[in-house]
Structure 1
Amino acid sequence: MPAAVPGYSSELVFFGLGLLLVLTVLAGSLSSRFGLPALIGFMLLGMLAGSEGLGGISFENVGLAQGIGVLSLVFILFSGGMDTIWRQVRRSAAPALMLATAGVMISAAVVAVAAMWLLGFTPLQGFLLGSVIASTDAAAVFAALRSRGMPLREELKGLIELESGSNDPMAIFLVGAALLLITAPQTSPLALIPAFGLQMVVGALVGYAIGTGFPALLRRARLRVGGLALVVSIAAALLAYGLAGLLQGNGFLAAYMAGIVAGAREFPSRRTISMFQDGLAWLAQVMMFLTLGLLVFPSELVEVLGPGLAVTAVLMFVARPLSVFLCLAPFRSYGWRAKLFVSWAGLRGAVPIVLATFPVVAGVAGAQDIFNIVFFVVLLSSVIQGPTLGWLARRLELDTPRHKAPAGR
């Protein structure tokens, strides 16, 4: 039988992949028992299996890691959208949209200034770092808020989930803008504004169309083989992302929107498809975090210890709270306690790490340092913020029913 990888038989490769998946799940479960997000276990096992760990697996293909990350995020966002109960979260749509747009820009700007002041970055390098790390992570937020024992009011849960699922497009646009300004300095920043509007509008329209057509197709097709409905659900996620991209729209927004629209409709095998997509999203998380862990050299993280701590502190205690308090100021239903919790719930995860691969692939100067700083920030943010969310919700009395005193009063 031909070798799947030079020097290794296909059987050995498949066995190794299966073993890595099992060990990754066990590592995620173990980290969860200690109150840490599962993604920590996933990434740490990847680092342990990497070239500087016990596994000795040499993996330096940043482009492949980026592709795996993008594909995984498509299914994570689509599944997260399907699990979102729109009638419960629609009241949070306006503040979530504010956080997903203006909030991301404010966070990026604050981190950019801090990087220039504390780390000696150029303005464009600071803008790039701030853009990469500005968005919260849907996978991390969905996993944390939907875990057992997370006491939180539905309106706050909906706000945080909607923000995390919809703020990736703004971060992706800012990263693309930063890379364009670095590689083509003659570009006018004002010329990027119409492109952003086109991405958002096209992404939303494509997502709505796919989210409407997917259930309609299942109702009309009456598939005799039940498993084919699962194949159609995979196709829906891929079509939403791919078609939006072909039409110059934002594929991540399209995938998330398609999931929300489809999840709000009734169609055959709906429960089965939802469970299947949830399993697929978990597989995507495992593969994504494991791959990103393999990509990291732990010795390089030690070199960015100081910058990583500085950026983490600025992000957690300045940039995120400032963006939340400013963006939610017009919405009087959110008191100071709710704003404080939303600030702390800005978990970072795979999205910033995946975005950090773009400068590396583009060959931007200092891109590897940015990647290592972002990876460090994500690890530290997950270790500190993830385990304390439930405790903070109880301390701020945000786990009480809505009919009691509003948060912050």
Structure 2
Amino acid sequence: MISTHVLFLTATIFLIVALVLSRLAEEFKLPDILFFLGLGVAIGPSGLGLLSSDGGDWTPVVLSMGASFILFDAGLDTSFRTLRKHRRSISLLATFGVVLSASLTMLLARYILNLSWAEGALLGAILASTDPTAIVPILRSLPIPKTVRDILMTEAALTDVTGALLTFSVAEFALSHETTGTWIRDGLISVGLIVPGILAGGLLGALSVILIAHTRYDYLSKNAQIVGLAAVGGSYLLSENFHASGFLAVYVLGVVLGNPRAFDLGIRQGPLPGIARIREGAGVTAFLARVAIFTVLGAHMKFGSFGLSPWLLVLFIAGFIFLVRPATIFLLIPSVHTSGFSRDDLIFMAATRETGIMSATLASLFESRLSGAVHGAVFWTIVGTIVVGGGVKPFLVKRLKLSKDVTEEIPENV
């Protein structure tokens, strides 16, 4: 039994170290998640052994709760005006983009890693989603146009859902040898599960806005931060209860709370201190979530190639980063004539392809049915995309001429 004294001392030291690392990240102009990942490696089994990689039931809890608060904070900072204007581009990336990415990754897995077509297809589906918990902190740390940032964050939130649905559909077909008709039927049913996530986040978001900022019913304005925390938990649980994505629900919740005047909810004129308080609280919880998530992921890092040739694994990851993502962006986005993105904007989007928690979760769900080679490819692709993406983007931003940002820093909200 850990004493209260030891628990407080450990938490205090851990937070101080996290703050120092965050400050170092600012000085070196690098995403802080890279430093937190390194902290996890240092105190995990591969380092000092202070943190066990066997987190039992706590690891998925930490990852799920942390991801929820990061996505909620990202939603608060997303402009609804941007989503409305670029809905076609976002829809393409979240649907056809996921399928195209999975298909190209399957080819890489087949011809570079020599996996079977079935395992290659499942690997492609597992890696098809962009990880919001990785890209949100990275994008927040860079001086990029808010429109580009909002689209990438929204894509990440949506592809977590569509990528998971694609994975389950492919698994039914590739591993269970079901008929094509059954596969298509299951896929269509799964796509319909996006709706409960949107509704859960939207309804609780609207209710929260009314209780915080309505002209007559703002009874809980002074308790706005508590309302926000309760709404995050409520929207996640409500969505999961309908077997939909809790992550999508909390992101939609954040978008509604972050854009209260975008909806006809009877919001009062003038400043909205309740919404401002939610923003402040969300920033703190998102920071703590980043520290927890990436320290845990760092502690879980296992330095082995899982039976794969290290050189072929590096070649696969390079192809995933430098071929699959650019092909997806440059084939889909320019087809939307009203996208308005410059060539440099598209290059930056093509360089944003971090994957993480959702891919790791999906791989663990099929652990007993996949070879060690697939698990190795998933694990090292997660590490590779976060390290390369986080390290390259700051230098890329300096060399690209990104579009002027025409969206207000804080959208139509407070």
TM-score exceeds 0.5: yes
CA drift of 1:103 comes to 1.0
1:227-246 pair list within 5 angstroms? 228-246=223-241
C-alpha distance in structure 2 between counterparts of 1:168 and 1:301, whole Å: 26
C-alpha distance in structure 1 between counterparts of 2:27 and 2:364, whole Å: 31
Matched, 1:353 2:360: yes
* Matched letter for residue 295 of structure 1: H
* Matched letter for residue 280 of structure 1: T
C-alpha distance in structure 2 between counterparts of 1:377 and 1:29, whole Å: 27
1:95-110 pair list within 5 angstroms? 95-110=89-104
* Matched letter for residue 392 of structure 1: L
Decide whether aligned partners of structure 1 residues 20 and 394 sit closer, same or farther in structure 2, where only a CA change above 3 A counts.
closer
Q: Which residue of 2 aligns with 1:131?
A: 125
Identity %: 25
CA drift of 1:106 comes to 1.0
Superposed CA offset, 1:317-360 (max 9, x none): 21101111121132233343332221012333444334443333
CA drift of 1:240 comes to 1.2
Superposed CA offset, 1:386-408 (max 9, x none): 343344344332154669xxxxx
1:9-408 pair list within 5 angstroms? 9-61=3-55, 63-147=57-141, 150-181=142-173, 184-186=176-178, 188-219=182-213, 220=217, 222-223=219-220, 226=222, 228-265=223-260, 269-299=274-304, 305-332=310-337, 333-360=340-367, 363-366=368-371, 369-400=373-404
| Contact 1:65-1:295 at 8 Å conserved across structures | no
CA drift of 1:305 comes to 3.3
CA RMSD for the aligned pairs? 2.8
C-alpha distance in structure 2 between counterparts of 1:45 and 1:278, whole Å: 21
Decide whether aligned partners of structure 1 residues 402 and 58 sit closer, same or farther in structure 2, where only a CA change above 3 A counts.
closer
C-alpha distance in structure 1 between counterparts of 2:319 and 2:402, whole Å: 25
Decide whether aligned partners of structure 1 residues 48 and 299 sit closer, same or farther in structure 2, where only a CA change above 3 A counts.
farther
Q: For structure 1, which segment, 247-256 or 388-397, has the greater mean C-alpha deviation from structure 2 after superposition? A: 388-397
* Matched letter for residue 223 of structure 1: L
CA drift of 1:179 comes to 4.1
C-alpha distance in structure 2 between counterparts of 1:400 and 1:236, whole Å: 35
Decide whether aligned partners of structure 1 residues 311 and 62 sit closer, same or farther in structure 2, where only a CA change above 3 A counts.
farther
Q: Which residue of 2 aligns with 1:407?
A: none
SS in 2 for 1:254: helix
Decide whether aligned partners of structure 1 residues 96 and 15 sit closer, same or farther in structure 2, where only a CA change above 3 A counts.
same
| Contact 1:289-1:350 at 8 Å conserved across structures | no
C-alpha distance in structure 2 between counterparts of 1:39 and 1:324, whole Å: 25
C-alpha distance in structure 2 between counterparts of 1:18 and 1:299, whole Å: 33
Superposed CA offset, 1:228-248 (max 9, x none): 432221111111121112123
| Contact 2:200-2:238 at 8 Å conserved across structures | yes
* Matched letter for residue 164 of structure 1: A
CA drift of 1:301 comes to 7.6
C-alpha distance in structure 2 between counterparts of 1:67 and 1:50, whole Å: 18
CA drift of 1:377 comes to 2.4
Q: For structure 1, which segment, 287-296 or 133-142, has the greater mean C-alpha deviation from structure 2 after superposition? A: 133-142
Unaligned runs of 5+ in 1: 404-409
* Matched letter for residue 322 of structure 2: F
| Contact 1:72-1:285 at 8 Å conserved across structures | yes
| Contact 2:37-2:298 at 8 Å conserved across structures | yes
Q: Which residue of 2 aligns with 1:406?
A: none
* Matched letter for residue 327 of structure 2: L
C-alpha distance in structure 1 between counterparts of 2:313 and 2:289, whole Å: 27
| Contact 1:114-1:314 at 8 Å conserved across structures | yes
Q: For structure 1, which segment, 80-89 or 40-49, has the greater mean C-alpha deviation from structure 2 after superposition? A: 80-89
CA drift of 1:221 comes to 5.5
TM-score scaled by length of structure 1: 0.85
TM-score scaled by length of structure 2: 0.84
C-alpha distance in structure 1 between counterparts of 2:137 and 2:336, whole Å: 27
| Contact 1:77-1:165 at 8 Å conserved across structures | yes
C-alpha distance in structure 1 between counterparts of 2:87 and 2:192, whole Å: 20
| Contact 2:194-2:245 at 8 Å conserved across structures | yes
* Matched letter for residue 167 of structure 1: T
Decide whether aligned partners of structure 1 residues 239 and 179 sit closer, same or farther in structure 2, where only a CA change above 3 A counts.
farther
CA drift of 1:216 comes to 1.4
| Contact 1:211-1:261 at 8 Å conserved across structures | yes
Q: How many residues align?
A: 390
